[in-house]
Amino acid sequence: MSRTDNAVQRFIFENTDIRGEIVSLNNSYVDALAAHDYPEIVRRLLGELVASVVLLSTTLKFEGLLTLQARGDGPLTLLMVECTDQKSFRAVAQFRDDISEGDLQELLGKASLLITVDPVKGKRYQGIVPLEKETLAASLEDYFAQSVQLQTRLWLACDGQTCGGLLLQALPASVELCEDIRTESWNRMTALAETVQNAELLDLNHETLLLRLFHEETVRIFAKEPVRFVCTCSHERSAKIISTLDRKEIESIVKEEGQVAMDCQFCNHQYVFGKEDIDSIFSEKTPIH
């Protein structure tokens, strides 16, 4: 059966305290990378990060923005994805010219994983863990173990054109109150999920994959949530960035070049500001569009 595209879907195991999420992306993922000529290895790792951020966003009950960054001193210096509570995302990577195939540690070198939650209401939260595992999924599991203290497992896959992922998470005890029973359920579900193949995550629709993995379990699947690429850059946001810079330096650029150009690192859209725009920005008037 054909796969479910550009959507994330929640499921639970009846009579247990275990929830899950499954995501599959193709067009939205391709659109997010369309403005960049990334090497294949960068596309794959960035696709895994996209899938993971969408999965993680479902575990947070908030209105706002979730950002996941992997930063290192290796050939791959940055992987970054932002995802809103509405399941819109954008992604970017930075790398050196000498980048080649390798695992996560080889490419990022000494690296850390930074998770930032920016709620519309409430305080900003940041968590950071060293990236010491060979895969992004294992590194994120470390984050949950250290920072969130919820048992969480992830399986991620990307072939450069399509990406997918699966998440299982143990919830606080409410159905299974006996610790031994909870542990047995968790071990059983994760052992079944461990059999998933990358090709299954990339090719199968959600219902088919869950049935294949958990055919002896009672699984309740909830409605799909669409996932799409949306870049939130704008003329107004670019103007706000300019307003934080040194006015004399900006005016010097305008005098020499006739304008100031701001490029969005995510979608490569360029915003151009002339002399009147710059005068308006620094006099705290509405920027000219």
d(CA 208, CA 286): 53
CA angle 87, 142, 127 (to 5 degrees): 60
**Model pLDDT, residue 288:** 42
**Model pLDDT, residue 173:** 76
**Model pLDDT, residue 287:** 44
CA angle 105, 108, 110 (to 5 degrees): 80
CATH number for the region 235-282 comes to 3.90.1280.10
Residue 16, φ and ψ in degrees, nearest 5: -135, 175
Long-range contacts of 120-129 (CB under 8 A, 24+ apart): 120/62, 120/63, 120/64, 121/63, 122/62
**Model pLDDT, residue 108:** 86
Residue with tokens 């650029």: 253
pTM, entire model: 0.85
CATH 3.90.1280.10 occupies which residues in the chain?
235-282
**Model pLDDT, residue 2:** 52
**Model pLDDT, residue 3:** 64
Mean pLDDT by 10 residues, the chain (289 residues): 78 90 93 88 92 88 86 89 91 84 81 87 84 85 78 92 93 78 90 94 93 92 92 79 77 78 78 78 57
**Model pLDDT, residue 224:** 93
Q: Regarding the domain with residue range 7-229, which homologous superfamily does it belong to in the CATH classification?
A: Hsp33 domain (3.55.30.10)
CATH 3.55.30.10 occupies which residues in the chain?
7-229
Question: If we measure between CA atoms, which residue out of 47, 2, 5, 14 comes closest to residue 222?
Answer: 14
With beta carbons less than 8 A apart as the criterion, state whether 55 and 237 touch. Answer: no
**Model pLDDT, residue 214:** 92
Cα 31 from chain centroid?
15
**Model pLDDT, residue 231:** 82
